[in-house]
Amino acid sequence: MKLPPFALLLAALCLACWPVLRWFVAGTLDGSNDCAGLLAAAAAAIIVLAPAREALARPLVLPCACLAVYLAATACQVPAPARSPLLALAITALASSLRLGKRFDVALFTLCILALPLSATLQFYLGYPLRVLAGDLSAFLLRMNGIAVAREGAMLAWQGQLVSIDAPCSGVKMLWAGLLLAGALAGAVRLSSLRTAVALMLAIAAVVAANAIRAAALFYMEAGIVHLPASAHEAIGVVSFAAAGAGILFMTHRMERRAA
């Protein structure tokens, strides 16, 4: 059976960028990163394989430009991780024009970026700043409740005690999951690029707020103010993300109704 033009072009694009695909497979399976990126890849594939809309009658300028930049980066010996966003950009532009009836689909690009095996890198670069941000916000919430808490680095100081906001509580994974949810929902309901960008920004705000509330709630346990079983630690995290996810779902639904 003859393959459709999109499948041929996608296969040719992937063949031209095979070093990045090799890095993607190795990085996903080598244990240094988790395999959660495959969820984003599956969501992107579902959006692309959904019934196609009318293709745009314009040259594929953006995919070709991305491929040209990729080849130039390869010639300059730029590492594969740094070239991977170019492949994600090219795949998004190609699928947007031939499958989604758009110039560029922001939701699909978000999912392609989230599929990259960069969780360890994100944790390294964003972990501490997010812990500091969570500390500032949670200290503000605790002071509103009458507890004189001060942030010291990535810890909360109170009455001679230091309560650490450890790496798992940085919110990097929660932020990744929130963006995955927002991107998948925006792609599923075909939001415009502008509305998708707004939905992603609101998702970031919702996750940051949820993580701050989680850090504030856990402070009561770690400081010995409230005595709860150890299982409550994970339960608080699940409830916090569930609240953020519900907010993302509600915001996306409202945007879909306004667009309709």
Q: When comparing pLDDT for 4 and 108, which is higher?
A: 108
Q: Which residues have C-beta within 8 Å of that of residue 37, sequence separation ≥ 6?
A: 28, 114, 115, 116, 117, 119
Q: Does the pLDDT value for residue 152 go beyond 80?
A: yes
pLDDT, one tens digit per residue, over 207-258 is 999 999 999 999 998 888 888 888 888 899 899 999 999 999 999 989 888 8
Q: How much is the pLDDT for 57?
A: 47
Q: How much is the pLDDT for 2?
A: 47
Domain ranges of the chain: 1-117, 119-260
Q: Does the pLDDT value for residue 102 go beyond 50?
A: yes
Q: Does the pLDDT value for residue 52 go beyond 70?
A: no
Residue type, 254: R
pLDDT, one tens digit per residue, over 23-36 is 999 988 887 777 88
Closest CA to 137 of 117, 151, 120, 116: 151
Terminus-to-terminus CA distance in the chain, angstroms? 38
Q: What is the 3-state secondary structure (H, E, C) of 105-162?
A: CHHHHHHHHHCCCCHHHHHHHHHHHHHHHHHHHHHHHHHHCCCCCEEECCEEEECCEE
Q: Which residues have C-beta within 8 Å of that of residue 180, sequence separation ≥ 6?
A: 39, 40, 43, 111, 114
Q: Does the pLDDT value for residue 174 go beyond 70?
A: yes
Percent of the chain residues past pLDDT 90, beyond the cut: 52
**Alpha carbon distance 236, 142 (integer Å):** 16
Q: Does the pLDDT value for residue 54 go beyond 60?
A: no
pLDDT, one tens digit per residue, over 205-217 is 999 999 999 999 9
